């Protein structure tokens, strides 16, 4: 019989998969001219950021659920602002892609996330160029190219928007490692929303004022407050579901759940949006890319295991060596679990692009995507 802790974990995983898929499909439905017809992705993203920032403010300043971190002007200017800028860009471009390409194809393109993060990490000096990892990245890229070639409704503009959003998100992840973590600043989901969401809102205001506000003034748009409230609430709930999942599972479990979510989302999108058709070449290319992602994750797990430091102190080790004969069985071998794998360093990419969170340290070294108001 399944114990209560395990049952709770499965419920959290189910909630994450349900909310992540729901937010993506909801965004597509709201933005698509064929359905709700609100073709203003920057406006939608600003609604998400404004709502998330407001809720975080209430939780911290009114209900005092968590305490704000020690934030100086220097840290805010050099860390929060650039991270928020790239985060706002990733959401802007990712949401705009929904206007041009299908949800299924977007999920296939997101397989490029490890490639983008690895390239940004190498450029920024936080990772080194290795032959085995490079070959995996090449396999992922080939798979995505094949999948794109098989896309019936291929759109260059939409593809460029999505790929640009992926690289912006990858740069945000690397900047989080280089800037925030080097200063010893850790943000939980609530504090990250508290600091990053308002700043992202400000960055989005400029392109909104130049690109979307003039169109909104002359077009006949429908603004249903309940639709946008429920949409923003779903995105916020997704953030917290990810936080709960991270707290109860290891990074490998999260990645498996993410892959399962992608396949479910691809299948659902073809049912909910009939125009979103997929071909055999689409699936073949995505399967090849996924093989590259799995191999990349395996290499990262091996790296973490190889870098594990024995927990015994030097004096304890010396005492043991003095008392015991030197046998191979005397050597300390760390017991590595999913949780221990997720404790060193930082993740190569976000767990879900649908979330505006600074990636928690528990996600260390496990790659593959998807933290987007692409969604919110």
Domain ranges of the chain: 45-216+256-307
Q: Which range is least confidently modeled, 43-47, 143-147, 215-219, 336-340?
A: 336-340
Q: pLDDT > 90: what percent of the chain? A: 51
Range 129-145 average pLDDT: 92
Residue 335 pLDDT > 60, yes or no? no
On the question of pLDDT at 58 being above 90, the answer is yes
Q: Which residues fall within 8 angstroms of residue 36, CB to CB, at 6 or more apart?
A: 29, 30, 222, 227
DSSP H or E run through 333: none
Contact present, 364 and 252 (Cβ < 8 Å): no
Give me the pLDDT at residue 211, please: 95
Cα–Cα distances (Å) from 54 to 66, 190, 194, 200, 257, in that order, read 15, 11, 8, 13, 30
> For residue 193, what are its two tokens?
């929303």
Number of other CB atoms surrounding residue 141 within 10 Å: 16
**Strand, coil or helix: what is 2?**
coil
Give the chain's length: 376
Residues with Cβ within 8 Å of 113's Cβ and at least 6 positions away in sequence, in order, are 166, 169, 170, 349, 350, 353, 367, 368, 369, 370
Q: What is the DSSP string of 73-104?
A: HHHIIIIIHHHHHHHHHHHHHHHHHTTTS-HH
Model confidence at 363: pLDDT above 50: no
Residue 300 has pLDDT above 90, yes or no: no
Residue 312 has pLDDT above 90, yes or no: no
First to last CA, the chain: 37
Enter the tokens of residue 128: 């080194």
CB-based contact 98:106 (threshold 8 Å): yes
Which pLDDT does position 252 carry in this prediction? 66
């Amino acid at each position: 019989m399944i114990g209560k802790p395990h049952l709770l974990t499965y419920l959290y995983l189910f909630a994450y998969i349900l909310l992540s898929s729901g937010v993506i499909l909801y965004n597509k439905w709201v933005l698509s001219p064929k359905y709700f017809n609100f073709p203003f992705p920057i406006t939608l993203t600003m609604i998400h950021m404004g709502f998330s920032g407001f809720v975080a403010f209430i939780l911290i300043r009114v209900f005092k659920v968590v305490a704000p971190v020690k934030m100086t002007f220097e840290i805010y200017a050099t860390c929060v602002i650039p991270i928020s800028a790239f985060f706002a860009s990733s959401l802007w471009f990712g949401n705009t892609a929904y206007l041009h390409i299908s949800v299924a194809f977007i999920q296939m393109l997101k397989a490029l996330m490890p490639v983008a993060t690895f390239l940004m990490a190498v450029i920024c000096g936080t990772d080194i160029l290795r032959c085995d990892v490079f070959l995996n990245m090449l396999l992922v890229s080939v798979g995505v190219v094949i999948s794109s070639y098989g896309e019936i409704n291929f759109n260059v503009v939409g593809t460029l928007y999505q790929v640009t959003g992926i690289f912006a998100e990858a740069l945000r992840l690397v900047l989080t490692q280089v800037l925030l973590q080097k200063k010893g600043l850790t943000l939980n989901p609530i504090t990250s929303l508290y600091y990053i969401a308002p700043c992202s809102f400000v960055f989005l205001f400029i392109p909104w004022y130049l690109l979307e506000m003039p169109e909104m003034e002359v077009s006949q748009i429908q603004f249903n407050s309940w639709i946008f409230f429920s949409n923003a609430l779903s995105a916020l709930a997704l953030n917290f579901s990810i936080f709960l999942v991270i707290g109860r599972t290891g990074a490998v479990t999260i990645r498996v759940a993410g892959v399962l979510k992608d396949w479910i989302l691809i299948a659902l999108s073809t049912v909910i949006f009939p125009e979103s058709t997929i071909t055999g070449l689409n699936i073949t290319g995505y399967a090849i890319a996924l093989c590259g992602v799995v191999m990349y994750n395996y290499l990262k797990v091996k790296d973490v295991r190889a870098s594990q430091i024995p927990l015994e102190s030097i004096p304890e080790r010396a005492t043991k060596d003095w008392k015991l004969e030197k046998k191979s069985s005397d050597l300390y071998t760390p017991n590595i679990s999913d949780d221990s794998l997720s404790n060193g360093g930082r993740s190569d990419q976000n767990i879900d692009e649908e979330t505006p969170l600074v990636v928690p340290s528990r996600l260390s070294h496990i790659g593959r995507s998807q933290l987007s108001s692409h969604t919110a």
